[in-house]
Structures are given as structure tokens and as C-alpha cells.
Amino acid sequence: MTRYGQPAPMPDSIRQYMRGGKDPARAFPCPRCGVAAHRPCRIPSRGVPLAQVHEQRVNHRAQTVACCPTCQVPPTVPCHADGRALKDGAVHPARHTEAKGEAA
Ligand SMILES: [Zn+2]
Ligand SMILES: [Zn+2]
């Protein structure tokens, strides 16, 4: 067995991913509770960590990495309907599908 000068610690991102933090949205900051990338979401008023990520965070990720087949916008541009952005940073379901494809 070869000895290396220093151990190679596993990056937090990978560890979190392997630990069942299945949600790739965690690689992004959460616009809802304001946590940084790779931190668990929390209840904004109390700072209590949540097991899941906020829907807004999932939406934010989808918006950042995927284009939307429904309203035909490129990545980072918010979804819109009838000329107005969707409420609360929501995205069309098809965009989530796109985002999932990219995560694989
Ligand atoms: Zn959050
Ligand atoms: Zn859309």
C-alpha cells in the first residue's frame, strides 16, 4: 500500500450527496431560508435545520441549470406565463424534468 503525504478528505459536497442528501438542489444556496450551498435548509425564524430542502431551492436550482421547455427560456431566466414571472420563483414541471436529466 502506498503512503501519501496527506490524506485526501472527501469534499463536503460528495459526502452530503452520498449521505442520502439526494437533492442536488443542496449544491445551491437557498433563496428561502438564505443558507449557503451544501448547508441544510432551516426554518428561517428559528434556525432549526430541516430534513428536506425548500421547494424554492429546488426551483432555484432548476431555473439555474435547465432551460424550460414550457415557456422556452434559457437557464437562469425565470419561468413565466402570460408575460409574468411565476410566483415565488416557481418553475414549470417540465423544467424540473430537464434539471433532473442534467443531474444524472
Ligand atoms: Zn431553505
Ligand atoms: Zn417555464
Of all ligands present, the nearest one to the C-alpha of 43 is: 1
Predicted confidence band of residue 22 (pLDDT cuts 50, 70, 90): confident
Ion ligand 2 residues within 5 Å by Cβ = 68, 70-71, 79, 92
Using alpha carbons, list the distances in angstroms from residue 91 to 33, 38, 49, 50. 18, 22, 25, 22
Domain ranges of the chain: 12-103
Of all ligands present, the nearest one to the C-alpha of 99 is: 2
CA distance 9 to 26: 20
The predicted-structure confidence for 55-70, as pLDDT tens digits, reads as follows 999 999 999 999 999 9
38 phi-psi bin (left φ>0, alpha ψ -120 to 50, beta other): left
Predicted confidence band of residue 16 (pLDDT cuts 50, 70, 90): very low
Enter the pTM of the model. 0.74
Percent of the chain with pLDDT over 70: 77
- 96 and 68 in contact (C-beta within 8 Å)? no
